[in-house]
């Protein structure tokens, strides 16, 4: 039987010892390798976010046509943006 996020959190809180947890579970993979990958992951600390104008038609296509979101709700949300030339995500309010 698999372990979901709730059971995983419970195991960590109860044991606080990864070696013991995985020894008891006897997984078919090298958990240390996965743990070390996340623990020692390189993180980019210098970055710059650039917001582009919102393409309202593309948003509608993706959310309404592809994913069947409610059209009225999406159009209401999009109407909160000023005209497309001056709108970007950093002006969301």
d(CA 75, CA 56): 9
pLDDT in tens, 22-74: 888 888 899 999 999 999 999 999 999 888 889 999 999 999 999 999 999 99
Give, as one character, the DSSP assignment of residue 90: G
Q: Could you state, in order of their start, the residue ranges of all structural domains in the chain? A: 5-39, 56-91
pTM score of the predicted model:
0.42
């Amino acid at each position: 039987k698999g372990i979901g996020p709730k059971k995983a959190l419970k195991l960590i809180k109860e044991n606080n010892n990864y070696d013991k947890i995985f020894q008891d579970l006897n997984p078919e993979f090298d958990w240390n390798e996965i743990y070390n990958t996340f623990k020692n992951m390189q993180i980019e600390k210098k970055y710059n976010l650039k917001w582009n104008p919102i393409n309202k038609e593309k948003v509608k296509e993706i959310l309404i046509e592809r994913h069947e979101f409610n059209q009225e709700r999406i159009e209401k949300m999009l109407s909160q943006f000023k005209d497309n030339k001056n709108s970007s995500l950093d002006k969301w309010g």
